[in-house]
Amino acid sequence: MNRSAILIITLLILAAPLSLSVSHAQATEFYVLNWQGYGSDEPWAIAQFEEAHNVTIVHDYFTSLDEMLTKLITSPGVYDAVEMNIAYLQPALEDGLIQPIDVSQITAWEDIPETFRNLPELAQGGDSIYGIPWTYGATSLVYNTDVFPDGINTLSVLWDPQFAGQVGMIDAYEDASILAGLYTGAVENPAAPTEDDIPTIQSSLETLAANVRTYWASEDEFNRLFESGEISLGVYWSGSAARARNAFNLPLEFVIPEEGAIGWVDVWTIAADAPNPELAVEWLNFMNDPEFYLEWDRVAGAPVPANSVTFEQLPEDSYTRQLFSDTSVLNRLAFQTYIPAETREALLEMWQEVKLFAS
Amino acid sequence: MFTTPLRRWLAFAPAYMWLILFAFVPLVIMLGFSFLSDVPFGRREPYLTFDNYASFFERALYQRLLGNSLGIAAWTTIGCLIIGYPLALVLARVIKGRWQAALFLLMIVPFWSSSLIRIYAWVSVLQRGGVIAQALGLFGIEIESLLYTYSSIIVGLVHAFLPYMVLTVYVAIDRIDRAYFEAAASLGAHPWRTFVKILFPLSLPGVLSGIILVFIPAVGAFVEPRLLGGPQGQTLGTVIEDLFVESFNWTLGAALSFVMLVVVLLLLVGVVILTRLRSRQT
């Protein structure tokens, strides 16, 4: 193979991403960017929206929120509606990737609890709103009700040497750092630790490491560990806890302990150069429509809806409903917020060291 | 119609194109990334830097992880040799005909399934109340979990890479001219002596390729260590995966991958040189 042939092949590879934006220019398609399998790509929902608005929905997916930002940066004018964690509204706005939303056009806006509407992340210090809360959930303590029949209401069990080797810890550096901050009470804003907080967090997590049986990374992994009795305590996602109880009958209880827990809020946004901004507003309304949401929850299991009207219509026996109907729970959640890239990198390095040297 | 060199070129072209497109080009792109301060997307303004490589040498963490990866790969290779060599020997010299095919099939069939399924199978064998624990329970022996130990990682990896060792060693043994063994026997050599003096030395090329085929992928393994090793399973591979998937730090991830590649290549070059020297002496 000669040099020019190699050059041509290389150019072809590099040009491949361009074809996406070129082909888009002449099509009447509506581009949605979200996690895969996260409600918006339910086939029945797509069919419903496509029929109602005479469009073709094209889904694109990301596997990390940083990848979501990268996709928005590299493909301006392609995406219409974009789903993200509120923590990422700040970098998205700083890079000029999202546009303000006229909340008077958002049907469910008044039905979203003030706790969420007043989150500073939504307005980013200005008057406009950039994201419409859609789902939320908690990452917190779970325990085996057979092993702890009296219940637990404190994070300190995870650190208690009595329970060494029984803890299934989540393998996520941000979550671990926030929990350590909540447990020690020595971090000013546990939801957004700074580099000054790292020594406190690190020594706390090193103590925790002695109790950790393993660091899990997926729902399936956690359920297996729990079912086989490898772990009887752990840190888990609220939505997964509900599924573990309903679908797998695991003797598991999810608690938001007295120290608090991690909360996360996901929003829908409209891309800055969205080709179809009016349609995007319709999409946002569709996503927060109780009819869509309840069907999603019924068919696939959904997180907690931010729309209180939807929440009220969840089935009586819904575990999600039991967990979050007490509104005081919301006040005990440390909602994940923007952590600057340098701090995140330092937290990740700290977490890698904790896992390697303290285990 | 075509001249011979052109015809040969055409015959090999698809293979080379494939290699260049899917192996060489991505590798070059990754090598490029490893010298950048950030991925060259959007408004980011990356510049050339050696920082990614410097962080490998500055942080004890990465060196320790590399040590873990090499250690796991070494034990895996040893395990594959201990189990694989006798297996290949028996397959090549003792078992014949239909049984040989059946044994090969038994060894290969599990590999038609996904590697994740095999790992999860090991989880249910090793875990608390798992297959081994229940079997021992029948004899009144109570054991805790065997999962999340260093040995459980090695067990999973040996299982994953064993066929490479068995197949390469089998081919090497099978190729040895039978006349050697007949000559040895007619001269009254004890079978053990025949093995030490003839069979084993002549099978060494197969052993060497087996070692290479097992060791290289085992250094980069991250799924088995993560799922079977728990906290013991921290390797350079798991951290590289995190850097790409979790924290979108492709540049550091790429640099660490190339450090691993260079270390593995150096080790292999060392092994090859050593074996050449030895074969020259004999």
Residue A329 lies in a domain: no
Q: Which residue of B has its CA nearest to A5?
A: B17
Residue B95 lies in a domain: yes
Confidence of residue B42 (pLDDT cuts 50, 70, 90): low
- Residues A113 and A77 both lie in one domain: yes
- Residues A14 and A76 both lie in one domain: yes
Distance from CA of A47 to the nearest CA of B (A): 31
User: Of B39, B41, B230, which has the smallest distance from its Cβ to A214's Cβ?
Assistant: B230
Please check the confidence at residue A24 and state whether its pLDDT lies above 70. no
Q: Poorest-confidence range of A96-105, B105-114, B227-236?
A: B105-114
Residue A326 lies in a domain: no
Q: Would the CB atoms of B16 and A1 count as touching at under 8 Å?
A: yes
pLDDT digits (tens, 9 = 90+) for B224-275: 999 999 888 999 999 998 888 777 788 999 999 999 999 999 998 988 888 8
Mutate to test the interface with B, among A144, A177, A352, A357 (most CBs of B within 10 A): A352
Using a CB-CB distance cutoff of 8 angstroms, which residues of chain B are in contact with residue A9? 17, 20-21, 25
Q: Would the CB atoms of B25 and A212 count as touching at under 8 Å?
A: no
Using a CB-CB distance cutoff of 8 angstroms, which residues of chain A are in contact with residue B249? 345
Structure tokens at B230: 């728990």
In whole angstroms, give the CA distance from residue B136 to residue A305: 49
Confidence of residue B5 (pLDDT cuts 50, 70, 90): confident
Q: Would the CB atoms of B128 and A229 count as touching at under 8 Å?
A: yes
Q: Is A75 helix (H, G, I), strand (E, B) or coil?
A: coil
- Residues A143 and A207 both lie in one domain: yes
Please check the confidence at residue A33 and state whether its pLDDT lies above 80. yes
Which pLDDT does position B207 carry in this prediction?
94
Residue B17 lies in a domain: no
Please check the confidence at residue A9 and state whether its pLDDT lies above 80. no
- Residues A148 and A186 both lie in one domain: yes
Residue B1 lies in a domain: no
CA-CA-CA-CA torsion sign (A99, A191, A330, A147):
positive
Q: Which residues of B touch A (CB under 8 A)?
A: 13, 16-17, 20-21, 25, 39, 41-44, 59, 61, 64-65, 120, 123-124, 127-130, 145, 147-148, 226-227, 230-232, 234, 239, 242, 245-249
Which pLDDT does position B64 carry in this prediction?
94
- Residues A149 and A236 both lie in one domain: yes
pLDDT digits (tens, 9 = 90+) for A236-255: 999 899 989 988 899 999 99
Residue B121 lies in a domain: yes
CA-CA-CA-CA torsion sign (B116, B122, B126, B130):
positive
- Residues A247 and A350 both lie in one domain: yes
Mean pLDDT of chain A, nearest integer = 90
User: Of A9, A74, A221, which has the smallest distance from its Cβ to B41's Cβ?
Assistant: A74
Alpha helices in B94-114 (DSSP H): 97-108
Residue A25 lies in a domain: yes
Start-to-end C-alpha separation, chain B: 50
Residue B49 lies in a domain: no
Nearest to A221 by CA among B147, B66, B69, B184: B147
pLDDT digits (tens, 9 = 90+) for B81-93: 999 999 999 999 8
Distance from CA of B219 to the nearest CA of A (A): 17
- Residues A38 and A128 both lie in one domain: yes
Q: Is A225 helix (H, G, I), strand (E, B) or coil?
A: helix
Q: How many domains does chain B have?
A: 1
In whole angstroms, give the CA distance from residue A121 to residue B102: 64
Residue B159 lies in a domain: yes
Q: Would the CB atoms of A6 and B20 count as touching at under 8 Å?
A: yes
- Residues A229 and A102 both lie in one domain: no
Residue A65 lies in a domain: yes
- Residues A25 and A152 both lie in one domain: no
Nearest to A133 by CA among A289, A306, A269: A306
Mean pLDDT of chain B, nearest integer = 90
Which pLDDT does position B125 carry in this prediction?
93
The CATH number of whichever domain residue B195 belongs to comes to 1.10.3720.10
Using a CB-CB distance cutoff of 8 angstroms, which residues of chain B are in contact with residue A74? 41-42
Q: Which residue of A has its CA nearest to B243?
A: A348
Q: Poorest-confidence range of A16-20, A85-89, B44-48, B133-137?
A: A16-20
Which pLDDT does position B263 carry in this prediction?
94
Across the A:B interface, residue pairs with CB atoms under 8 Å apart total: 84
Q: Would the CB atoms of A228 and B129 count as touching at under 8 Å?
A: yes
Q: Where are the beta strands (DSSP E) in A260-306?
A: 261-271, 304-305
- Stated as kind and residue range, the H or E segment containing A242 is helix A238-246
In whole angstroms, give the CA distance from residue B252 to residue B238: 13
pLDDT digits (tens, 9 = 90+) for A291-317: 999 999 988 888 999 999 999 999 988
Nearest to A88 by CA among A66, A109, A103: A66
Please check the confidence at residue A4 and state whether its pLDDT lies above 60. no
Domain of A190, in residue numbers: 137-262+337-357
The CATH number of whichever domain residue A167 belongs to comes to 3.40.190.10
Residue B224 lies in a domain: yes
Nearest to A284 by CA among A295, A273, A268, A296: A268
Domain of B244, in residue numbers: 63-281
Q: Would the CB atoms of A359 and B242 count as touching at under 8 Å?
A: no
Confidence of residue A6 (pLDDT cuts 50, 70, 90): very low
Which pLDDT does position A269 carry in this prediction?
98
Q: How many domains does chain A have?
A: 2
Distance from CA of B213 to the nearest CA of A (A): 28
Q: Which residues of A touch B (CB under 8 A)?
A: 1, 6, 9-10, 13, 63-64, 66-67, 70, 73-74, 95, 172, 209, 212-215, 217, 221, 224, 228-230, 344-345, 348-349, 352-353, 355-357, 359
pLDDT digits (tens, 9 = 90+) for B180-233: 999 999 999 998 999 999 999 999 999 999 999 999 999 999 999 999 998 889
For residues A300 and A42, is the Cβ–Cβ distance under 8 A?
yes
